[in-house]
Amino acid sequence: MNTTNCNCQISCTGKAVIASIIIGVFAAFFRFTALITITPVFLWVLFGIAVGFLGITLLASSFRDSERIGCCQSLIPFFAGILGTILTSVILLGITFAATSVLGAIITGLLLFFFSLLVTSATCLIACRVDCD
């Protein structure tokens, strides 16, 4: 994954990863201090969004132009966000943690890290596909 562009500035993917880390750390802290709670409905919604993104991506990959392959480097964090969101939401749906559990806070932070990585890298991927020549 390339996080810098030709001018040694942080690329869109790098910004997406940094923003996702910040969101994940704040979410873990807020979950540990019991300022936020994670309900099963919220977990099912995140799971459905991730599965929907995966389905759309698989459908769109069958219609991809052969000359535009390799144009964008945002696919790795995009798929990491999808698979991480699915995995951590299934873990949190299957296991109930106490409100101030350290392990529950870490997994919640990972869930929101992966979901924000999914959303921000999808934005980077769309911007890259629009600018791709």
Residue 27: which domain range? 20-60+75-116
29 in a domain, yes or no? yes
Domain membership flag for residue 51: yes
Q: Is residue 66 part of a domain?
A: no
Residue 2 domain-assigned? no
| Torsion sign (Cα): 26, 11, 3, 45 | positive
Q: Is residue 94 part of a domain?
A: yes
**pLDDT truncated to tens, each residue of the chain (133 aa)?**
555 455 556 778 888 889 999 999 999 998 888 888 888 899 999 999 999 998 888 887 776 654 554 556 678 888 899 999 999 999 988 887 776 788 888 988 999 999 999 999 888 888 877 776 5
The answer to whether residue 1 sits within a structural domain is no
pLDDT value at position 31? 87
**109-122 in b/e burial notation, b at 16+ Cβ within 10 A?**
bbbbbbbbbbbbbb
Q: What is the pTM (predicted TM-score) of this model?
A: 0.81
**Total domains in the fold of the chain:** 1
